[in-house]
């Protein structure tokens, strides 16, 4: 398959995010942490290699799924808008959505708040969002840590710098862990709508709107239904309830894919020798089109960084796609049959409407 190098434009790396360098460091981390793994069937034996959305260990015959994540630079958007009561939802979403990707039922989460200054109102607002997200995901917040780090944490608003992360756990029967095995050509990709930018790509968004251009969080664009800052702060959708509804049905659900960092390239994380043809994308939300236009960002970079309006995918046999869409719709979100699997050991991702093909960590123009 012939592909061409993308034309120059604003990139994630230009905004300060160097994923290639981070991946080199990650390889070193992985080589070390694998040395801590129990051997054979010892207590705590890992059931999955690193690289899946969540880890699963054998906890006395029960699969204990574990995921950890944070809200990234969405914390800066919260400071710019001076509103902190929704980013906790993002924190829950980033963890709970990853747990369900291995077929687990999320149960509980602990949080980590690192703050420049322990303003009581800030901490209270962060906890409001965590509790709202916990209700949406049907989990508990069972504890956490608040660290006062004035020499480490800084931010956009003096004294209000913070970071927010969490670790969530859930359970999955050891024989029912889902990692995308058994996907066959013709299986359908059901895409579920996102709520905007979610919690990935905010560094690039800030770079375009606030550094390349002099917009503010109060700026209103005709394309957007609310001020720019509020649009960027929209909470990440939590997909737990609809995913568990499909999991509890008799649908032959083969994979669940959270469209986070790396965008649609997350589809090639499935454990099958397939690629995907995405040929029925829903309309792209205006926030993405606006960023692409203002930043002159290539299609290749947009689909590598952002969710482009699809925050989660389920892969099912073709004859069950409409049933899955109906289940998702019953839970208040729009879902679409956006593409299908094809036999492909190299695991290419074809975005037909844009004429781009992804492999590994990169999208390129197809010739």
Domains and CATH numbers, the chain: 53-176 (3.30.1330.10), 188-366 (3.90.650.10)
Beta bridge partners of 67: 168
pLDDT band at 20 (very low <50, low <70, confident <90, very high): confident
By CB atoms closer than 10 A (0-12, 13-18, 19+), residue 245 is middle
Rounded CA-CA distance 266/263 in Å is 6
Strands in 105-115's sheet, in edge-to-edge order, are 55-59, 62-70, 162-172, 105-115, 140-148
CA 11, 14, 19: angle at the middle one, nearest 5?
75
**Dihedral angle sign, alpha carbons of residues 166, 167, 173, 178:** positive
DSSP state for residue 42 in the 8-state scheme:
-
pLDDT score at 13: 76
pLDDT for 23 beyond 80: no
Of 16-20, 294-298, 307-311, the least confident: 16-20
Unique residue bearing structure tokens 């434009």: 9
> Which stretches of 202-248 are assigned E, i.e. beta strand?
none
pLDDT, tens digit (0-9, with 9 covering 90-100), for 326-339: 999 999 999 999 99
pLDDT, tens digit (0-9, with 9 covering 90-100), for 34-71: 999 998 888 899 999 998 999 999 999 999 999 999 99
Q: Would you give the distance in Å from CA 231 to the centre of its chain?
A: 17
Rounded to 10°, the helix 87-100/74-81 angle is 160
pLDDT for 3 beyond 60: no
pLDDT, tens digit (0-9, with 9 covering 90-100), for 121-169: 999 999 999 999 999 999 999 999 999 999 999 989 899 999 999 999 9
pLDDT band at 293 (very low <50, low <70, confident <90, very high): very high
pLDDT band at 170 (very low <50, low <70, confident <90, very high): very high
Rounded CA-CA distance 265/12 in Å is 15
Rounded CA-CA distance 304/361 in Å is 8
Determine the average pLDDT of the residues in 257-272. Answer: 96
Average model confidence (pLDDT) across the chain? 94
């Amino acid at each position: 398959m012939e592909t061409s190098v993308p034309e120059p434009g604003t990139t994630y790396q230009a905004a300060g995010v160097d994923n290639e360098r981070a991946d080199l460091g990650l390889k070193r981390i992985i080589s070390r942490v694998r040395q801590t793994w129990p051997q054979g069937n010892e207590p705590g034996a890992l059931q999955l290699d690193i690289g899946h959305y969540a880890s699963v260990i054998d906890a006395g015959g029960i699969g204990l799924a574990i995921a950890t994540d944070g809200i990234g630079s969405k914390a800066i958007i919260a400071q710019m808008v001076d509103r902190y009561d929704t980013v906790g939802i993002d924190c829950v979403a980033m963890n709970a959505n990853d747990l369900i990707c291995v077929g687990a039922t999320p149960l509980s989460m602990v949080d980590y708040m690192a703050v420049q200054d322990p303003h009581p109102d800030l901490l209270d607002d962060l906890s409001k969002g965590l509790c709202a997200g916990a209700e949406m995901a049907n989990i508990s917040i069972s504890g956490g840590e608040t660290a006062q780090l004035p020499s480490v944490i800084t931010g956009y608003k003096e004294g209000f710098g913070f970071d927010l992360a969490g670790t969530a756990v859930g359970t999955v029967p050891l024989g029912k862990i889902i990692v995308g095995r058994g996907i066959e050509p013709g299986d359908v990709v059901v895409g579920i709508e996102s709520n905007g930018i979610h919690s990935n790509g905010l560094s690039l968004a800030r770079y375009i709107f606030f550094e390349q251009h002099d917009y503010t969080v109060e700026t209103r664009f005709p394309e957007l239904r609310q001020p720019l800052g509020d649009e960027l702060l929209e909470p990440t959708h939590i997909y737990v309830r609809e995913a568990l509804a499909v999991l509890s049905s008799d649908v032959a659900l083969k994979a669940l894919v959270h469209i986070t960092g790396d965008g649609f390239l997350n589809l090639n994380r499935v454990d099958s020798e397939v690629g995907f043809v995405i040929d029925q994308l829903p309309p792209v939300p205006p926030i993405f089109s606006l960023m692409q236009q203002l930043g002159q960002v290539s299609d290749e970079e947009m689909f590598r960084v952002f969710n482009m309006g699809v925050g989660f995918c389920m892969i099912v046999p073709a004859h069950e796609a409409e049933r899955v869409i109906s289940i998702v719709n019953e839970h208040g979100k729009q879902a679409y049959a956006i593409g299908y699997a094809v036999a492909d050991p190299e695991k290419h991702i074809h975005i037909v409407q844009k004429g781009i093909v992804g492999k590994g960590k990169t999208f390129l123009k197809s010739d």
